[in-house]
Structure 1
Amino acid sequence: MAQVSLRNLRKQYGATTAVADVSFDIAEGELVAFLGPSGCGKTTTLRMVAGFVEPSDGEIWIGNTEVTRLAPDKRNTGMVFQRYALFPHMTVAQNVAFGLEMRRVPKAERATRIREALDMVRLTSLAERYPRQLSGGQQQRVAIARALAIRPDVFLLDEPLSNLDAKLRVEVREEIRALQQRLGLTTIFVTHDQEEALAMADRVAVMHDGRVQQIGSADELYERPANPFVASFLGRMNFLAGHVDNGQFVTANGEKITINGAASHANTLGIRPERLRLAAAPEHSEVSIPVRLADRVYLGATVELRLTSERGQSLVALVPNTAHAGAGGWSQGDTLHACFRTEDCLLFSA
């Protein structure tokens, strides 16, 4: 396995900047997820690492070798595509063998590698079937086996779970993560699904408008987001606009919240919905905002409560669906108090 280094990587399509000045290192054996909305530059960045897109500027290093201008087959990267890209006229074994044949691996060694790769994804018994005879999850495993058969230095996955149903997505992502850790594969995983990124990655690079907004572990990004975009893309966030005055954050609607060490230029306060606690009376040990219950949405394990403050501020609270949560006893139109700790508040500047 090898370290991957991206240095001032940039991709321009005419007047449009798809990727702008992306720089960071991926350690040997690390799984890094590129996370962001459609059009943010994550897949373009991945395809530049794979060699399918030529950078407009910058450098790509795999180990001690600069591969920026090398052809894809000279980089020893294994790629799993969003739509699997299996050959329908080839059997499972033939699909897995394809990359080995292109690299002119001797026949005896090819057979060994095919068997090893199919063993890793538990598809040995299906080696002679065709893609049309497989389920979506099985086809995905074939694509993974094909990428692993060449024994890549870097494992690349482009939204590999997006075509699977919800239950199967969870199963396959756990299998990919376990396989990646067992083999020590240096891996880049592209996704727009925050749960996938948080569950699978050692670190997550959140991208927006062609730039990496923040890179860090799941808890770093969730607990200490660098800006409102990261805060809202990783989980949900209540945002209150306002300003800081003598250590207090004064919302645009007039609520005052004391924040120790608040920077004077902060103009947005964030609080996670699950950090809001609802009570019938104000809690003097916490910040308390009078609210009215506007609506409630049943989500199974949680209940989403949509609130409106006395001054017109919209808030959302997430409460666990348990007997003692109290959510079942509140009705639309009830007057409550949204309580939270100041240490759970996040302040952002424009």
Structure 2
Amino acid sequence: MGQQEGRLSLFAARRRDHARAGRTLLTAIEAMKYRKLGETGILVSEVGFGAWGIGGRTAGATSYGDTDDAQSLAALRRALDLGITFFDTSSAYGSGHSEVLIGRAVAGGRDKAVIATKAGYDDWTKPADFSAAAIRRSTELSLKRLGTDYLDVLQLHNPPSDVLSADETREVIASLLAEGKIRAWGVSAKNPGGAVEALRVARAPIVQANFNMMDVRVVTEGLLQEVIRQGAAFIARTPLCFGFLTGTIDRSTAFAAGDHRAAWSRVQLDNWIDGARDLISAVSATPGREAVLSALRFCLSFDGVSSVIPGVLHPAEAETNAAASDQGPLPPEIVERVLEINAKRDFFVSPARAS
């Protein structure tokens, strides 16, 4: 589907009922809104908490390097105070450390959080394992680390096509649902095409993929249209494009050891830096808080999006992110401007990795 075809129908700005599904918490930010997670019966904060970064530095894909657990816990607790209820993690994030921290943060208030984790990779240095035994084992270990007896959402983490169509995959998911160990399941896809496949092949009720102002493939490749058609839920990952859409990264920025961005090629980094500058200007924002809010509001401007999950490392980041819900979607003409820029420019270069 082309960018022009049908995309205005995806804009959520004129349909606030979708964004107002559920209660409003009278906390420091009085307008955190909640959306339906497809047809699962679960409500989630439309701004969530991406928990890759708090897992810290590990072998393999190490996110953003070393972290401070006290700071991570403060960020998690501040998010809860602000009405953020949706937390997205994985058994692979810090080899399970991200889950441990979330478990500590929600202890005593488990019913206030919606926790989505992932199975398939328990350690980035090892091959993925999507066998029924591995999915069950991963679920049990996640439950233990989180200190809970149920997961709200279990997502298959970048599964290949044969896993999506396998009888044993369907059977183990059905068993975990029947046992009450998971409330719902979904697929965290490597790319939008993988998410479309998960919807069409496995009828996944929840899918997750990258979506931001420099990556609009979920619109141009028809993923959001398919989500809406099936009544599924879409979780928008990397809404700040690894921090570049904050507008605070420039050519002088030096990434710390263990920061995955240090592995991207100089050409790719410069492309994102220049692209972010132009897009931030296009939405009439300034670098920093305004840019973050605009980037999150862009993702929230489309129907089919249940929650946007920016990564959070500091309590102040949780505060900024939560404010995006209060401000609501971007005006349709601004969203259209971003899509038009994407139609003329490619923000991803190949090869993108330095090695």
For normalisation by structure 1, the TM-score amounts to: 0.33
Larger relative helix fraction:
2
User: Which structure has greater strand proportion?
Assistant: 1
Q: Which has the larger radius of gyration?
A: 1
